[in-house]
Amino acid sequence: MKRTRINCPDCGERLSSNRITHHYRSAHDNADVPADAVSLQRFNQHWVLADNGCHEWTGQLSKDGYGKFAPFNAYYTPAYRWRYMLEFPDLDYGNVYMDHLCRNRRCVNIEHLEPTTPRGNILRGETLAAANIAKTHCNRGHEFNEENTYSSPTRPSHRQCKKCRKITDDARKVKRGKK
């Protein structure tokens, strides 16, 4: 694996990412500077301000188009998540997803991020599941309400219009010759 080479924030010397922390702390008498501060300086070299207020990541991208960042002595992590965790360290990140309110995957602006549940993140997105949950009427125009909506016990998130279900069942019975 090829090591990333970066410039020292003070002297500009080009070093591999695994050597920069040691160099920065010893050569520049910065032993009291925490690794997060050094990582933040390096992080800030990899984004630019866009016209819409997004901080667009210019560093490496994941295959899905999200920014990737490797803090010192750590593995790659989503850049937006690392920045949010640095700002809000007390938040429990166990089952938390970050929703990009701006819908820009490269954005690392913490003002454009909001913690949410996995389900909440999917339903806020531009996905088929989000579009289906937002529907208030079925394809035939019947309203989805409590008395007209059927939810399967095995698939509670899958809903069907009871009137359409009856129409389909009746048509199937006629086709089979049972009615």
pLDDT attached to residue 50:
93
pLDDT top residue among 158 and 79: 79
**Which residue in this structure is represented by tokens 């359409």?**
164
Strands (E), 132-174: 149-151, 159-161
pLDDT attached to residue 16:
64
Q: What pLDDT digit, counting tens, does each position of 95-146 carry?
A: 788 899 999 999 999 999 999 988 888 888 888 878 887 888 888 889 888 8
> Does 113 lie in the same domain as 51?
yes
148 neighbors 163 (Cβ within 8 angstroms): yes
Q: What pLDDT digit, counting tens, does each position of 44-101 carry?
A: 999 999 999 999 999 999 999 999 998 866 678 899 988 888 888 887 777 788 899 9
**Which residue in this structure is represented by tokens 């188009």?**
65
Domain containing residue 108: 47-134
Phi and psi at 81, nearest 5°, equal -70, -40
> Does 17 lie in the same domain as 59?
no
CATH number of the domain at 61, please: 3.90.75
